[in-house]
């Protein structure tokens, strides 16, 4: 058996308790990666213990990182590529490293980068999102809302908005839930743009709790409600990043880089 046949790919996600989003947003990435690297085997792990416990109550069993690595080692794999579906090198990425590092003595571990790492990632995200949302015109605005980090490591979101602008899409704005000033900044920019329609979409891998509660919810403090309150016509785009082919292509490139 050659080396690649002894290689496992561990797809690591924060997770979601929304069952349809598991396969629609995370599963679709995993299936495409399995198809592309057909001599390897793709495994799955979630890192949120709260979500794992919620899923367990629904009789859905998903491995933690240690459980997945133990399974991979027991099945005789000599190399594991750990590919997170995180947006950036933030708190979750560091937690992932902490859980994996004890296994580096047992198996050859290769770490792939999260979604936004180099210039090409940003460019491919921009073009991939616009290719799937070509109904958004220059008379409109597209507001992408990410989760962000409580550690204030949010420069990738600023860089992404800048990349949209430099590639000809100044009407695309990027906000984050974890930054309380982000909403005010977006509203001020919308005032300058004066769009006919404001399309709003999650910049998250899954359409999960944050999307339903913080972005599209009906209470007065959601992103949708706050923008509507300013008199704009708001149209939701109910699509997680896992549903964009370009996003999966970026993860494939990151895996190739470490193989």
Same domain (yes/no): 97, 129: no
pLDDT digits (tens, 9 = 90+) for 24-76: 999 999 999 999 999 999 999 999 999 999 999 999 999 999 999 999 999 99
Same domain (yes/no): 180, 207: yes
Q: What distance in Å separates the CA atoms of residue 208 and residue 202, rounded to the nearest whole number?
A: 10
Q: For residue 211, what are its two tokens? A: 């999307």
Domain that holds residue 40: 3-115+243-258
DSSP 140: S
Q: What distance in Å separates the CA atoms of residue 130 and residue 13, rounded to the nearest whole number?
A: 24
**What pLDDT sits at residue 5?**
53
Q: For residue 127, what are its two tokens? A: 């073009």
Same domain (yes/no): 105, 123: no
Q: Which residue reads 């490591």 in tokens?
A: 153
CA 93 vs. chain centroid, Å, equals: 12
Q: Angle, to 10 degrees, between the axis of helix 245-258 and the axis of helix 28-36?
A: 50
Same domain (yes/no): 103, 124: no
**What pLDDT sits at residue 4?**
43
Closest CA to 172 of 154, 190, 184: 190
Q: Which pLDDT band holds residue 3 (cuts at 50, 70, 90)?
A: very low
pLDDT digits (tens, 9 = 90+) for 125-184: 999 999 999 999 999 999 999 998 765 578 899 999 999 999 999 999 999 998 878 999
Same domain (yes/no): 123, 211: yes
Same domain (yes/no): 103, 131: no
pLDDT digits (tens, 9 = 90+) for 185-232: 999 999 999 999 999 999 999 998 888 889 998 888 899 999 999 999
Strand-strand pairing, 79-84 and 108-111: parallel
Which residues, including other chains, have CB under 8 Å from residue 166's CB and lie 6 or more apart? Answer: none
Domain CATH number, residue 27: 3.40.50.1400
**What pLDDT sits at residue 154?**
80
Q: Domain count of the chain?
A: 2
pLDDT digits (tens, 9 = 90+) for 93-134: 999 999 999 999 999 999 999 999 999 999 999 999 999 999
Same domain (yes/no): 22, 107: yes
B/e letters for 213-243, b = 16+ CB within 10 Å, e = fewer, are ebbbeeeeebbbebbeeeebebeebebbbbb
Same domain (yes/no): 73, 102: yes
Same domain (yes/no): 123, 236: yes
Which residues, including other chains, have CB under 8 Å from residue 80's CB and lie 6 or more apart? Answer: 7, 8, 9, 10, 69, 72, 107, 108, 109, 110
Q: What distance in Å separates the CA atoms of residue 40 and residue 110, rounded to the nearest whole number?
A: 14
Q: For residue 145, what are its two tokens? A: 């809302």
Closest CA to 194 of 170, 215, 220, 217: 170
Same domain (yes/no): 150, 67: no
Q: Where are the alpha helices (DSSP H) in the chain?
A: 19-21, 28-36, 49-57, 65-74, 91-100, 119-132, 155-166, 182-193, 209-210, 223-229, 245-258
Same domain (yes/no): 141, 84: no
**What pLDDT sits at residue 1?**
41
pLDDT digits (tens, 9 = 90+) for 24-37: 999 999 999 999 99
Same domain (yes/no): 150, 225: yes
C-beta of residue 158 within 8 angstroms of C-beta of residue 185: no
Residue of 243 and 1 predicted with greater confidence: 243
Report yes or no on whether pTM surpasses 0.75: yes
């Amino acid at each position: 058996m050659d080396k690649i046949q002894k290689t496992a790919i561990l797809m690591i996600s924060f997770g979601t308790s929304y069952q349809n989003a598991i396969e629609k947003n995370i599963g679709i990435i995993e299936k495409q990666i399995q198809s592309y690297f057909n001599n390897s085997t793709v495994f799955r792990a979630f890192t949120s213990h709260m979500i794992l416990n919620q899923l367990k109550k629904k009789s859905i069993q998903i491995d933690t990182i240690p459980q997945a690595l133990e399974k991979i080692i027991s099945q005789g794999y000599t190399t594991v590529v750990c590919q997170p579906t995180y947006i950036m090198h933030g708190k979750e990425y560091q937690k992932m490293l902490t859980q994996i590092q004890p296994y580096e003595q047992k198996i050859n571990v290769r770490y792939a980068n999260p979604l936004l790492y180099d210039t090409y990632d940003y460019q491919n995200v921009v073009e991939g999102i616009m290719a799937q949302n070509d109904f958004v015109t220059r008379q409109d605005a597209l507001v992408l809302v990410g989760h962000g980090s409580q550690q204030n490591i949010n420069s990738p979101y600023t860089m992404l908005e800048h990349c949209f602008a430099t590639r000809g899409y100044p009407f695309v704005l990027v906000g984050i839930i974890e930054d309380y000033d982000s909403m005010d900044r977006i509203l001020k920019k919308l005032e300058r743009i004066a769009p006919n329609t404001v399309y709003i979409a999650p910049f998250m891998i899954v359409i999960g709790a944050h999307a339903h509660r913080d972005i599209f919810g009906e209470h007065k403090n959601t992103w949708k409600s706050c923008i509507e309150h300013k008199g704009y016509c708001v149209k939701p785009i109910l699509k997680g990043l896992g549903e964009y082919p370009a996003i999966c292509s970026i993860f494939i490139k990151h895996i190739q880089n470490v193989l």
